[in-house]
Structures are given as structure tokens and as C-alpha cells.
Amino acid sequence: MDKISIYEVGTRDGFQSVKEYIPYEVKMEIIDKIVDAGIKHLQITSFVSPKAIPQMKDAQEIAAACRSQYPDLDLLALVPNLRGALTADTFGIDRISFVVSLSESHNKANINRSHEDSKRELDSIRNALPEMDICLDVATAFGCPFEGKKTTSELLEFIGYYVDHGIQMINLCDTIGIANPVQVREVIREIQKTFAGLDLMVHIHDTRNMGMVNTLAAIECGVNKVQSTLGGLGGCPFAPGASGNLATEDLLYMLDEIGCVTGVNLKKLTEASALQCQKIPSGSYSGHLLKVFERQDICYE
């Protein structure tokens, strides 16, 4: 059976989509439930200016608490710049995600940088923190709300620069949920042929109800690291119409059914999703399994 690592990113990607501040205690209660369910990889927060994303104003407190309570957990944080990376390092976070969009228009809308600016910023992080483990999140990898779809050749050329400069893990993000399984397979197979040994991850939005099939297509191509959010909470604020992520509990149900090994307990994870919906009722959720769970007619055995 294939072993698949689920990277729960709702505690960053999902939470940041909620306008009202989620109390620190609520965030930690949800994180505790997620960890109890067996999640081993957790993107806990984003070290970004509170002026840009007020929801992340407690990033340092969240990081300190998680590092103290869960020393063996694989904790990640998203950082937009060197300052964020240095803060992550200060709080013991040694794995970070650095985002750059394949589409320059989206790059400017999302992080207010040109492609060249992003390259320079990443270089500054690598120079200041040479031991930091960096995953490059390639946003709009399958399509952009402003520029449409790029060719696979354009994506390969874009990735090539970062691989040549030492990046060993790339997360392909379907930011607006516009990919299809044929495209996903083509992109991943060409990347695997061109950059042998490059570690790949996928983050697929479910905007058009394609999150599950596109994630499965990636897994069938050999990708064993997948991102999702509890309840499907979230969506990119700089991508019109990108209203939801793939729900972690839905993904886990599918993986369990096809015989993949994850080490995550479906019942406990769905209970965590139910708690999140209760505590954050204003969130935008795209998950399906929770509705079945609420009817209490699902069998977890």
C-alpha cells in the first residue's frame, strides 16, 4: 500500500480566510484535535505583518506553543520575506514555505512583488539561513485568474531557475481550482522527467469540485505529499472565485478506501472538523464528509 503524507494547512490557509479574529485558545483547541487524530505535518501559521493579515497576529504565540507541546511534530510556517523567515527561525520553526506565483500578475497581487523581486528575496533568505528547509510553493501553477493557463514548458522553465539555485521541494498549487486530471498528470510527469529527484507536493483547491480527482491524479503519478485543509476551509483572497480547499477529512476517506497508509484516524479528524465548524461558524467550508458525520450514519470501522 502507498504511504501518503497529509500536510494539514488549514491552521494557516484556512484560518487566514476568516475575517473575524479567531481567539488563540480556539486555534490551539483545533490544533490539539488535529494532532490527536494523527496528523504529523502541520502548517501552523504565517509570519506576515498583522497589517496585511490580522488573523496571523498571534503567529509567534502559536509557534511557541506548538513547538513546546509537540516537539516531534513536523511544523511548517509560510513566510513572505526574510523578516518572516528570521522570526520562524527564532521560534524553532526550521521548515518554511516561500510562495511565488507562476503568473507575474498574481505574484504582484498576492505578495506585491515582481518575479525578480521574489528571486532576490529568496536568495536573501537562503544566504541568511542556509540550514533552513525551504519548500517553494508555486501558486497559479495550473492557471491564473489574470493570465489564464501557462504551458507546461513555461512552468518547467520557471521551476528550473529555483532548482538550479538549490530548491529541492516544490509544492504545485492549483490556486483557483482550474486544473484537470489530464493536465495534472502531464505537468507532474514532465517535471519528473526534467528534474529527477525533485520532491513534489500538491495543493489543489476545490473551487470547481475537482480537488479530489486532481489530487488523486497526482498521487497516481507518484506524488506522496498532499496538502488540504480541515473542512475545506479557506480560499485565496487574491484569486476571485477560489472559494475553497480540498477538505482533509474527505481526502482521508478517499485514501483509506483505496488502501493508502496515512496514520490518521478518520473519526477523530472528522470530529475535529465538526469542532472547527462549531467554533468558527463564519468560515467558508467545502467539505462533504462532515454532512454525513452529522447524520450519524457513517461507519468508521
Question: What distances in angstroms separate CA 190 from CA 142, 157, 230, one per listed residue?
Answer: 14, 11, 31
Task: Yes or no: say if 46 and 78 are a contact pair by the CB < 8 Å rule.
Answer: yes
- Indicate the length of the chain as a whole number: 301
Task: Yes or no: say if 257 and 289 are a contact pair by the CB < 8 Å rule.
Answer: no
C-alpha cell at 10: 488549514
221 assigned to active site: no
Residues with Cβ within 8 Å of residue 7, at least 6 apart in sequence? 41, 42, 43, 76, 201, 225, 226, 227, 228
> From the CB of residue 130, how many other CB atoms can be counted at a distance below 10 Å?
8
Which one-letter DSSP state was computed for residue 216? H
C-alpha cell at 188: 507532474
The one catalytic residue in 236, 260, 277, 299 is 236
Terminal CA-CA length for the chain: 18
Provide the residue type at 105 as one letter.
S
User: Which sequence positions are flagged as catalytic?
Assistant: 236
